[in-house]
Amino acid sequence: MLAESPAPSRAAPGALPRSTDVAIARPEAERPHTDVTDRDDADVARAFRAGDETAIADAYARWSGIVHSLALRALGVRADAEDVTQSVFISAWQGRANFDPERAPLVAWLIGITRRRIADALEARSRIRRLEQSLTDANSTEPPSDEVDVAERLMIAAELGRLEPVPRRVMALAFYGDMTHSEIADSTGLPLGTVKSHIRRSLGRLRTRLEVDDDSSR
C-alpha cells in the first residue's frame, strides 16, 4: 500500500512562509538559486491564493526578475529596487486574499503592486527633497518654500521627538527657527561640521520613516 503524500503546507493569513524569508530579503546577487517547479502559471496562481507555501517561492523564482527590473528602471538605484522587490512579494503574500486567479494572472497582479510600490518610493523621495529644500531655504536669503504641507510638518514634528536632545534641538532650529547652519552653531556652541552632520543624519532618519509610513498605508 502506497503511503499518502503529505498535503502542501499552508501559512496563516498575513504570515510570510519562513522558508522564503531569506531568499526574498537578500540582494539579487546573494539569492540562492531556486528552481521553477513544473507547475504551470495558473496552478501556481491558484496555489498562491490558497496559501500553499511552495507557491510564494515558485512565484518569486518566476517573476522577481520582472519586478526588480521595473523597479530598477523607475528608481535607478539598485538598493531601492531590491527594497521594492522585497516589499512587493511580502505585500502580495500577506494580501493574497484579495487576489482572484480567475480574473487576472498572478504576474499581472504582482506588476500592479510593483507600480504602487514604485509610486510610494518616488513620493517619499519627493517629500524628502521638499524638506531638504526647506532646510536649504533657511540657509539662503530667498523666502522659504511653502511646499512642506501641514500633514508633513506634523509627521516631521513627531519624528523629531524621537531624536536625541542635541540633534532634536539642531533640527528644530533649522526647520522651525529658519536658522542657518552657522547661526545654529553660534546658538548651540557646536562646531559647524557637527551641526551639518546632525542635520544630514536626521534627514536620513526622516527618509526612512517616510518610506515606512508610505508602505504601511497600503
- Same domain for 100 and 22: yes
Handedness of CA 21, 24, 30, 36 (dihedral sign): positive
Q: Give strand pairing partners of 10.
A: 52
pLDDT in tens, 116-141: 999 988 887 777 776 666 655 545 44
- Same domain for 101 and 199: no
Please tell me the predicted confidence (pLDDT) of residue 173: 80
Q: Are 144 and 179 in contact, with CB atoms under 8 Å apart?
A: no
Residue 108 has pLDDT above 70, yes or no: yes
- Same domain for 153 and 116: no
- Same domain for 163 and 75: no
CATH of the domain at 196: 1.10.10.10
- Same domain for 119 and 202: no
- Same domain for 113 and 41: yes
Please tell me the predicted confidence (pLDDT) of residue 183: 81
| Residue at 8 is within a domain | no
Domain count along the chain? 2
Domain residue limits at 75: 18-124
Q: Give the predicted TM-score (pTM) of the model.
A: 0.55
Percent of the chain with pLDDT over 90: 31
Q: What is the mean pLDDT of residues 150-156?
A: 61
Q: Which residue has the higher pLDDT, 92 or 155?
A: 92
Q: What is the mean pLDDT of residues 182-197?
A: 85
**Minimal CA–CA distance to 68: which of 86, 52, 54?**
86
CB atoms near residue 28 (< 10 Å):
13
Q: How far separated are the first and last CA of the chain, in Å rounded?
A: 50
| Residue at 49 is within a domain | yes
DSSP secondary structure code for residue 162 in this structure: T
Percent of the chain with pLDDT over 70: 62
| Residue at 24 is within a domain | yes
Q: What is the mean pLDDT of residues 49-58?
A: 92
| Residue at 141 is within a domain | no
- Same domain for 157 and 120: no
- Same domain for 169 and 116: no
Q: What values do phi and psi take at 52, rounded to 5?
A: -70, 120
Q: What is the mean pLDDT of residues 9-20?
A: 47
| Residue at 139 is within a domain | no
- pLDDT category at 182 given cuts 50, 70, 90 is confident
- Same domain for 31 and 118: yes
